[in-house]
Each structure stands twice: as C-alpha cells, then as structure tokens.
Amino acid sequence: MEDSQKVTVLKPSAGWAGIDFAGIWQYRDLLLLLVRRDFLAQYKQTILGPAWFVLQPLFLTIVFTLIFGNFAQIPTEGLPPLLFYNSGLIIWSYFSSCFTGNASVFTSNAGIYQKVYYPRLINPLANCTSALFGFSIQIVFFLGYFCIYKFLIPTEEFFSMTWAMLLLPALIPLVASLGLGMGLWMSVLTAKYRDFNQITGFLAQALMYATPIIYPLSEIPEKYRFWASLNPMAPVVETFRFALLGKGSFSTSHFIYSGIVALCILLSGMYFFKRTERRVVDYL
C-alpha cells in the first residue's frame, strides 16, 4: 500500500514576491520576543545595565568637548558643546545601531536560520526596534541637559526647540530605514565574505566623521558643502539639531533628498536580502 503522506517544503521566495509582509505581521509575537531578547542580552551580566545607554554617548560627548571644542577650537554655532555634540551623537547612535547590528544578522543568527523557518526580515526589524529603547532613554537625558543649560546655567546665546520637532515622527523612521537598508546589504556580504565584518566597523566610523556631528555643516567651505550634503545622514543630523536647539542648516530639499535615498537603500537592501537569503545559509 502506497504511503500517501504529504511532505511540505518551506522555502523563501526570491525577488519582490518574497517580501512577505503578511508573514511578518503573522510573526509579530516573535518580533516582540526578539526585541525583548536583544534588549536583555545587550546588557546581561553588567553592573550598570541600561545606564550604558546614557554613559556611552555622554563619555564620547566629553571627549569631543575636550579635543574638538577646547583643543581644536571647532565652532559649535554658539551652542554649549555638551548640547551640540550630544544632539548629534543621539541620532547617530541610533543609525549606527541599526546599521552595525544588522550587518551581522546572518552570522549571529546562523543556528536558528539553519533549523527553523520564519520570515528572515524579523531579525533585522527586531534590531531596529530594540535600538529605539536606547534612543528614547538618551532623548530623555538630553532634555535634562537642555533644561539645566536653559534655566540653571546662564548663557548669552539663545537656543530653543523649534517647529521642526514635528518632523521627528518622520525623522526616526528615515534613520531606521537608512540603517536597516545598509545593514541588509552588508549582512549578505558579511555572511559570504567575513572580511566585511572588519569593513563594517571602519565604514561606520568613517561615516561618523563625514557627518556633521563634531562640526556644523556651515563650517564646511562653500565649495565642498554640496558634496558633504550628499551624505544622507548630514541633513538628518542638521535637522535633528535644528529641531532640538534651533541651530543647524535645515533645508527642506536636503531633507527630502535624505528620505528618497533612505527609501532606495531600504528597498534595494530588502530585495537583495530576500533574493540571496536561500543561498547565504549555505555559507554559514
């Protein structure tokens, strides 16, 4: 008697048809579970725990203040150096977490990818979502620094939050899209060529210095300013600083440009990720 038992083979599709948004929604409980796991694992067995979310950018802000503010005398548009550097580092840290965290998503999840099927995009999305916790904590402490300088420490320079705060609900997804898209591109390359593990860190550091975090965009010579603005994170940092402090080179056209670039990188990254994910598992 023949065995009529059916065998179901689960495998991801390639191309745009393989981007299973319905499947991602179906596995939303897994997404939330991974967000919780990533958040807890990041500071597991540490003494200070989530306090590192605040201490890391604060220490870097102090270093920038000493080196670039006091020694190099780089202008901060009249803003207190702590507020100037910290505002740039907050939004940059979120981008960096999305980018570098997702660059190794295949290698860091190799065990589960080889055994269990679920939409692979769940892990990159979880990385970007869990990074929001650190971003939120840093924003709260920045507001504390802001109030101290605004009301307790007298300063001749006027600074205040602006109407551009209304852009934050669009700015944060823009940064997440840019970091996620770049991370998806790098994740496939990293899985196949482990040299890209080193390149990821170098690229993130190089991009940080190419972004107006330790200097205002207005300090770049006019003939080079256009090229500096091609960095999609440059308008983002300037807009974020303008929203929080009222200083920065805000431009609607540059903001829209960053959004278009972020969308293109995200969509192409998702396509590349889905098109190659079936073969990439063989390299792990």
Domain membership of residue 8 (yes or no) is no
Q: Which domain holds residue 37?
A: 17-283
**Do the domain assignments include residue 2?**
no
Residue 176 lies in a domain: yes
Mean pLDDT by 10 residues, the chain (284 residues): 54 56 84 85 69 84 89 86 92 94 85 80 92 91 88 70 83 95 91 82 92 90 88 94 86 92 94 80 63
Whether 7 is covered by a domain: the verdict is no
Could you tell me the pTM of the whole model?
0.86
Domain-embedded: residue 11: no
* Angle, CA of 98, 99 and 105, to the nearest 5°: 85
Backbone angles phi, psi at 22, to 5 degrees: -65, -40
Indicate whether 106 belongs to any domain: yes
Position 269 in a domain: yes
Instruction: Classify residue 152 as exposed, middle or buried by CB count within 10 Å of its CB (0-12, 13-18, 19+).
Output: exposed
| pLDDT reported for residue 197 | 82
Q: Evaluate whether residue 4 is within a structural domain.
A: no
Q: How many domains does the chain have?
A: 1
Structure letter (DSSP) for residue 249:
-
